[in-house]
């Protein structure tokens, strides 16, 4: 039975290698190279480890790390949805749910159910862990765009108001982090790399 | 004080972006593209999450994830050392210790000390968590090389006996995983992608 589990888990481990090919719109810090989803997931997990003290509430860091490490795996099937896309919603789409069922469904049943639940909890954004995890997911590209003289804000003509609308949920996870991030956005406007 | 911490943490978050540029010798599954350290670290963390049930002992999964997420950060300064390198040892070198002190040293003092301790625990390989984390680190490239018709074994002419010598510590973390991995190595010999 344990060996049957192992075979399923190894098949899953091979399958998720594809996350390394999914390109995001945002680019690495001070760079022209697009970030891929696997690198992004690693970076968010590292951020959660070092920024946990700024969470608004006591959080289960292990849960947060699981959320961040798996949150984009559905994009292997469903593709990356750009946060400022006007036509396609970034929220839990039918395609993403199908992807979660197929990919996590490669694992032993109980494990699949458990990881799908973690992913759904992240997507819903209601629990303290989901709020903090989502604030990491919004904060990283903000730092990247600033390092890249506006990055995707500049490239896709995204105005300050729209950026604030998307980024302010950082505060649901961490008030001090949002305070800091909001100041960075104001500075970006002053520097002319974000348009008001 | 908290804001002073935050500034240090953000500087660290930007610094470790460089891990995405450190190339490993091994390549992605069924691919010619080299894996980078950030992708590798993400993949090992995912493996630990799905394979934890096969650990020889009850492990603190949060500790294991921290180990795997940070284990290669020293390579930003010290570079990747190839596991089958004949002249340079892969073990905790002076250059790696310096790197750990510089990079983790960007964080607030207590946090830096704590992450350096986690990294040293991984390197020492003595605790149950370090043993399991290290078995992940040895198992991923084994799977990659098999998918790539021998991969670095073929490329650098590494014989079966040498591979077994390096890989058998998988069993220190997980007996069933080593049993499975050893069978894969035997199969690789039969297929002619690993020379005895």
Full DSSP string of A18-31: GGGG-EEEEE-TTS
Cite the beta strand spans of chain B per DSSP E: 23-27, 34-36
- Taking the Cβ of residue A147 and every Cβ of chain B, the question of whether any pair is shorter than 8 Å is answered with yes
* Helices (H), ranges, A52-86: 61-70, 75-78
pLDDT at B85: 72
* Shortest CA gap A89–chain B (Å): 27
Prediction pTM value: 0.96
pLDDT at A83: 80
The secondary structure of residue B125, as a DSSP letter, is T
Measured distance between the N- and C-terminal CA atoms of chain B, rounded to whole angstroms: 60
Closest residue in A to B71 (Cα–Cα): A46
Residue B23: strand pairing partners = B36
Closest CA to B123 of B137, B102, B106: B137
Predicted pLDDT at B180: 98
Beta-carbon contacts of A133 under 8 Å, excluding residues fewer than 6 positions away, are A44, A48, A64, A67, A68, A71, A122, A173
d(CA A105, CA B108): 41
pLDDT at B86: 66
Cβ of residue A19 closer than 8 Å to a chain B Cβ: yes
pLDDT tens track of chain B, all 196 residues? 468 999 999 999 999 999 999 999 999 999 999 999 999 999 999 999 999 999 999 999 999 999 999 999 999 999 887 788 766 655 558 999 999 999 999 999 999 999 999 999 999 999 999 999 999 999 999 999 999 999 999 999 999 999 999 999 999 999 999 999 999 999 999 999 999 9
Q: Chain B partners of A42 at a C-beta cutoff of 8 Å?
A: 19, 38-39, 41-42, 45, 69
Q: Which one is the CATH code of A3-190: 2.70.70.10, 3.40.605.10, 2.40.110.20, 1.10.3210.10? A: 1.10.3210.10
Q: Provide the mean pLDDT of chain A.
A: 95
**Measured between alpha carbons, how far is residue A45 from residues A38, A40, A62, A92 in Å?**
11, 9, 10, 21
Enumerate the domain spans of chain A.
3-190
Q: Model confidence over A9-36: pLDDT tens digits?
A: 999 999 999 999 999 999 999 999 999 9
pLDDT at B83: 80
Nearest to A173 by CA among A143, A139, A123: A139
Mean pLDDT computed over A38-55 = 98
Q: DSSP letters along A102-160, please? A: HHHTTS-HHHHHHHHHHHHHHHHT-SHHHHHHHHHHHHHHHHHHHHTTTHHHHHTT--H
Cα separation, B124 vs B24, whole angstroms: 22
Q: What is the ipTM of this complex?
A: 0.96
Query: Looking at the complex, does the CB of residue A49 fall below 8 Å from at least one CB of chain B?
Result: yes
């Amino acid at each position: 039975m344990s060996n049957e589990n192992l075979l399923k888990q190894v098949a899953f481990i091979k399958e998720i290698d594809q996350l390394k090919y999914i390109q995001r719109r945002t680019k690495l810090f001070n760079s022209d190279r697009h970030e891929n989803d696997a690198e992004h997931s690693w970076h968010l997990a590292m951020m959660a480890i070092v920024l946990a003290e700024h969470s608004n509430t006591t959080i289960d860091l292990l849960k947060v790390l699981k959320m961040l490490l798996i949150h984009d795996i559905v994009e292997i099937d469903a593709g990356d949805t750009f946060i400022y896309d006007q036509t396609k919603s970034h929220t839990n789409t039918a395609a993403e749910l199908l992807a979660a069922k197929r990919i996590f469904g490669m694992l032993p049943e109980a494990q699949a159910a458990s990881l799908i639940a973690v992913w759904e909890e992240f997507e819903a954004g209601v629990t303290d862990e989901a709020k903090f995890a989502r604030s990491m997911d919004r904060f990283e590209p903000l730092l990247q765009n600033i390092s890249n003289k506006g990055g995707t804000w500049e490239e896709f003509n995204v105005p300050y108001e729209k950026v604030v609308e998307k980024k302010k949920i950082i505060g649901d996870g961490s008030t001090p982090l949002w305070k800091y991030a909001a100041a960075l956005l104001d500075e970006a406007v002053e520097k002319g790399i974000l348009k008001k």
